[in-house]
Structure 1
Amino acid sequence: MAKTYNNRTDVPDHEKWDLTDLYKDESAWQEDVKQSYELADKLQTFNGKIDDSTSLLQYLKTQEELSLIVRKVFAYAMFRQDIDTRDSKAQKLNGQTAQLSVKISESTAFFMPFLLSLDKKTLEQYIQEEAELAYFEDSLWKSFREKEHVLSKEQEQLLSQLHETFQAPSNTYNMFNNADISFGDVTDEDGNQVQLTRGMYSKLIEDEDRSKRQEAYKAYYKPYVEMNNTIATNYASEVKTNAALAKVRNYSSALGEALFSDDIPVEVYDNLLQSAKDNSKPLHDYAKLRKERLGVDELRQYDLNVPIVQGVKAEIPYDEAYDTMLKALKPLGEDYVAQLELFRDKRYIDVRETKAKRSGAYNMGVYGVHPFVLLNHHDDLNSLFTLVHEMGHALHSHYSSKEQPQITANYKIFVAEVASTVNEVLLIQYLLKNTEDERMRAYLLNHFIEQFRGTFFTQVMFADFEKQTHERAESGEPLDAESLNELYEGLFRTYFGEELVFDDEVKYGWSRIPHFYRAFYVYQYATGFVSAIDIAMRILDGDKETLDNYLTFLASGSKKDPLELLNETGVDLTTSAPVENAMKMFKETVEELRAMDV
């Protein structure tokens, strides 16, 4: 039976964060807040006063000093609130960090317009005159790339002041989706009608009783259907804002702006969408297999999450899960495994679900301290995979912080999912290799297929939706509820095939995706997934060069652009090869599952 805890005080200390690694107490945190304001004020004094290499260096060093402190300040406040979202003290701390963020934004708004007002020769001269500027050189030149996209100092200050207004659609959606949303009713075990919660939904949608799945599905979509016009208007505002800001800043499109900072060609995005469509037949075959194994006359969306190998329940206590992870990730080398052991021993992981703790899981690296991992561990197979996933992020943060200076220690989002997914692939292959029970093997194959479906195909479909909505806004086409619903339903049919019989709720699916308020983010899950499969399978084949290159990748932070970092591991996302390799593996996995008589 999985361990459950009513209160955080009941959780053993070794399964809780030790936040004294950040600050010994709240007064120490307040001292850093005070120092942050002082440094922000100091940065503001440079406005109009940077006129030589020495003053440029002084500004950049002060900014980096502030960045190091602020990272700790923000992390501590966030962690305090995440372990108990009811904590009024933690809420106040986060209120202070919000005010500090505005202060820093205002204090530094002048710098980018100033930097880009320089001509190239002047910047080169400054770097040659002051040896210490070599540390900042790459960052300065990357910023200089944005010269044609940054406005005047006055215009940038105005946009900075309007930042909260631009965030309004996102904030409005988050408030609706987290605070105000009220799902429909479902029938509990005693036959009573109770209001559905997200936690209940995640369990009921996997229930072997189809009527329960259907009831939960209808109840879950109820508020999105009822609020369809309002959500559509809100999302249209988000998309139009993105399109308008891209135009104001002289980008070719909102997509072009989103990809610019990482130097990702639009062709990589388009290639991903096309390659997914070209290789979608195995997914359609899997839908047929799912229909057959579930024994249903019509395959509905609420049939897509229940395991098709039923009756397999694996209880895996946390310590056993951790030991399994250590064995599965052994191919990554002795030091990698040793660091994983240290994370458990040093209390870098907050393990258990407790009342009012933030849901889900994440890793956050704090430069100069260490990464912190939040879990809500339930002693089951999904929790094992979540553990392995988040520790991939954590070790990526660990090695990058260890080997890189602060300025290049943070890796880009584009490569973030590679390290986590490499770990998941190594885990699934380890479990398959060491599982003799046929039903468990089939269950694991089904799990891996579902990972493909969710992390690759679904995210690519979302990315396609984002691309088309922004293109419509840029060409002046309407973005109302009807057109958004129609677009989403059409994409769902394209990617998932005709085997599905659509309930009316399917077309409202776009309205429940919070990631759409962080434009052109989700495609990176898919690129990271196919890259990770490519890397992990070569490591398992004993390719030492790939292993060495991958470990170098983990320690590289943002030293190089994302595509270059991946190229050095042998993954070229400008071609369709990584997607085709992953799809070959997907096809073979579906075929193996079909051949099993379970």
Structure 2
Amino acid sequence: MDQRLTRNQVPIETTWKLEDIFPSREAFLIELNALTKSAKELALRQGKLFVSASSLLSNLEDYFDFSARLWRLTAYVSLKQAADSSDPENQADAARADAANAQMEATLSFFEDELMDLDDSHLHALIQEVPELEEYQPYFRKLFNKKPFRLHPEAEKTIKALAEVLEAPYTIYSRSKLADMQFESVKDSDGNTVPMSFTLYENSYASTRDTVLRRNAYDSFTKTLDQYKNTFASVYAAEVNKTVAVAKLRGYKTATDYLLQQQQVSETMYDNQLDIIYQELAPHMQKFAELKRLALGLDTITYADLLAPIDTTSPQTTFEESKQALLDALKIMGPEYHAIIEEGLTNRWVDYSDNVGKSTGGFCESPYGVHSYILMTWTGDI
């Protein structure tokens, strides 16, 4: 076989069930319109967010409820895109949601502006009056940490309105990688022709025991990437320039400081990770590469061989077998935990098919108020 399956050709049981977020695309579109209306209604509260402790609590509850609904909606289109970014409908829905999201965030940017006018003493007094506000303390701490870098309200509104444009570099990169890239099929050591894709290379061929297949796949992989080098260099440069510009506008010392604060990571922590990789881990990895060359019986070890396994067996397993192994192993976590894992593995929380347009790698998305969704590509390798 030298052709990959399209999304509508893969067994439905290997895909996730997005109906748990919205039962249909029509329901998604209805919610999108409803959220746009809700944003306009919330905007009427501008200038009135904390006239009293009770009004602050009510406004926060409504704002967080709106944010949770928006989270579910954006997760829905994001998951559809991750499953098949080559589908024009998925692309259209993502673009529609991104545009609406940018507009709604711009409309409601005053929320953070006004809440930042609070100081610790005022907030403490309001909490004393209405103790239920205490649960919002983590939110206020994160908000207050951004105070020194907050721009004029109109500038903040403008940046949020441009969110779709500012995210364009990553969107272009993702669409190019998942929807446009076409890789040449490759041959294995037995002369069989097998399909090739970004996902197949990443999850299967890069770590296969078949040296011929591994190196042929690497050649096909890099040949296709080379055809996109100018496009990817341009969008990466645009992303870097955007980040540097926003960091300067906000008054950060460096773009690194700007990015790290969003993740609540200190520069010391970040530098320590790099130092460990370069200074402590690197010598061991170089030694490991040489040992792997000897174990595999290779004259030279190339980049294509770095993930090759050194064991001589090739155990395979099915998803059902692995599911049972996981459930058996996790019984020790107790019945409640075990039941959640079983439900997730049984009721299509996991998308593990391989199909054209599917996202590479793996991730877990947990939209508020719904269960988690896990993306991976099943290869059968234990």
Establish whether TM, by shorter chain, passes 0.5. Answer: yes
Q: What is the match of residue 399 of structure 1?
A: none
Q: Is the 8 A contact 1:181 1:223 kept in 2?
A: yes
Distance 1:171 1:348, change over 3 A: closer
1:272–1:191 CA distance, 2 compared to 1 (3 A): closer
Which residue in 1 is equivalent to 2:317? 316
- Supply the distance in 2 between the matched residues of 1:90 and 1:380 (Cα, whole angstroms): 31
Q: What is the CA distance between 1:157 and its match in structure 2? A: 1.7
For the Cα contact (< 8 Å) 1:183–1:221, is it kept in 2? no
Read off the aligned partner of 1:278 and give its amino acid letter: E
Aligned residue number for residue 328 of structure 1: 329
Equivalent position amino acid for 2:148 in 1: E
1:174 correspondence with 2:174: yes
**Is the CA contact 1:7–1:355 (under 8 Å) kept in the aligned structure 2?**
yes
Counterpart check, 1:236 vs 2:237: yes
CA deviations on 1:525-577 (whole Å, 9 max, x unpaired) are xxxxxxxxxxxxxxxxxxxxxxxxxxxxxxxxxxxxxxxxxxxxxxxxxxxxx
Equivalent in the alignment of 1:75: 75
Match of 1:59 in 2: 59
1:43 matched to 2:42? The reply is yes
**Residues 332 and 253 (structure 1), Cα distance of their counterparts in 2 relative to 1, 3 Å cut:** farther
Q: Could you tell me whether the CA contact under 8 Å between 1:52 and 1:126 is conserved in 2?
A: no
Q: Distance in 2 between matches of 1:226 and 1:10?
A: 29
How many residue pairs are counted as aligned between the two chains?
Answer: 376
Alignment match, 2:291? 289
8 Å contact from structure 2 (residues 198, 360) kept in 1? no
| Structure 1 pair 19–177 and aligned structure 2 pair: CA distance change class (3 A) | closer
Could you tell which deviates more after superposition, 156-165 or 116-125?
116-125
> Is the contact between residue 84 and residue 355 of structure 1 (CA under 8 Å) also seen in structure 2?
yes
**AA partner of residue 342 (structure 2):** E
- 1:238–1:344 CA distance, 2 compared to 1 (3 A): closer
State how far apart, in whole Å, the 1-side matches of 2:242 and 2:232 are.
Answer: 15
Tell me the equivalent position of 1:142.
142
Report deviation, 1:87. Answer: 5.2
Hey, what does 1:265 align to over in structure 2? 266
Preserved CA contact (<8 Å) 1:40 1:103: no
What is the TM-score when the length of structure 2 is the normalising length? 0.82
Write the distance in 1 (CA, Å) between the matches of 2:348 and 2:228. 43
What corresponds to 2:103 in structure 1?
103
| 1:61 partner amino acid | E
Q: What does 1:216-235 correspond to in 2, within 5 Å?
A: 216-225=217-226, 228=229, 231-235=232-236
DSSP-derived class of the 1:377 partner = coil
Counterparts of 1:243 and 1:368, CA distance in 2: 35
189-198 or 288-297: which moved more?
A: 189-198
Distance in 1, matches of 2:293 and 2:234, equals 36
- Secondary structure of the structure 2 residue equivalent to 1:380: coil
Change (3 A) 1:108 1:275: same
Q: How do residues 316-395 of structure 1 correspond to structure 2 at under 5 angstroms?
A: 316-353=317-354, 360-381=361-382
Q: Equivalents in 2 of 1:183, 1:299: separation in Å?
A: 24
**Shift of the alpha carbon at 1:223?**
4.3
Matches within 5 A, 1:104-503: 104-183=104-183, 186=186, 197-199=197-199, 201-202=201-202, 203-208=204-209, 210-225=211-226, 228=229, 231-276=232-277, 277-310=279-312, 312-353=313-354, 360-381=361-382
Task: State the 1:322 CA deviation.
Answer: 0.9
* Structure 2 CA distance for partners of 1:220 and 1:284, relative to 1, 3 Å: same
Question: How far is the alpha carbon of 1:225 from its aligned partner?
Answer: 4.0
Q: Could you say which structure has the greater relative contact order, defined with CA pairs below 8 angstroms and 6 or more residues apart? A: 2
Q: Relative to structure 1, is the Cα distance of residues 270 and 129 closer, same or farther in structure 2, using a 3 angstrom cutoff?
A: same
Q: Which runs of 5+ in 2 are unaligned?
A: none
Q: Does structure 1 retain, via aligned residues, the 8 Å contact 2:189–2:210?
A: no
Q: 1:91 to 1:166 in 2, by over 3 A?
A: closer
Quick one: structure 1 residues 254 and 23, their matched pair in 2 at CA, closer, same or farther if it must change by over 3 Å? same
Q: Percent identity?
A: 27
State the distance in 2 between where 1:226 and 1:31 align: 41
Contact 2:81 2:90 in 1 (8 A): yes
TM-superposition CA deviations, 1:73-132 (whole Å, max 9, x none): 333444455555565555444343223312221122222222223444444444444444
CA gap 1:220/1:26 in 2 versus in 1, 3 angstroms: closer
| Shift, 1:233, TM fit | 4.3
Equivalent pair of 2:199/2:360 in contact (CA under 8 Å): no
Residue 345 of structure 1: how far off its partner (Å): 4.0
Q: Rate the CA distance shift 1:328–1:37 in 2: closer, same or farther, 3 A.
A: same
Deviations 1:284-305 (A, max 9, x none): 2211211111222222111212
The TM-score, its normalising length taken from structure 1, stands at 0.55
Indicate the residue corresponding to 1:456 in structure 2: none
> Any idea what the Cα deviations from partners look like across 1:451-470, whole Å, max 9, x if unmatched?
xxxxxxxxxxxxxxxxxxxx
- On the 8 A contact 2:185/2:193 being kept in 1, the answer is yes
Separation of aligned partners in 2, 1:38 and 1:334? 43
Deviations 1:492-515 (A, max 9, x none): xxxxxxxxxxxxxxxxxxxxxxxx
Change (3 A) 1:322 1:5: farther
Residue 47 of structure 2 aligns with an amino acid whose one-letter code is: G
2:106–2:158 CA contact under 8 A, matched in 1: no
Matched residue SS, 2:364 = strand
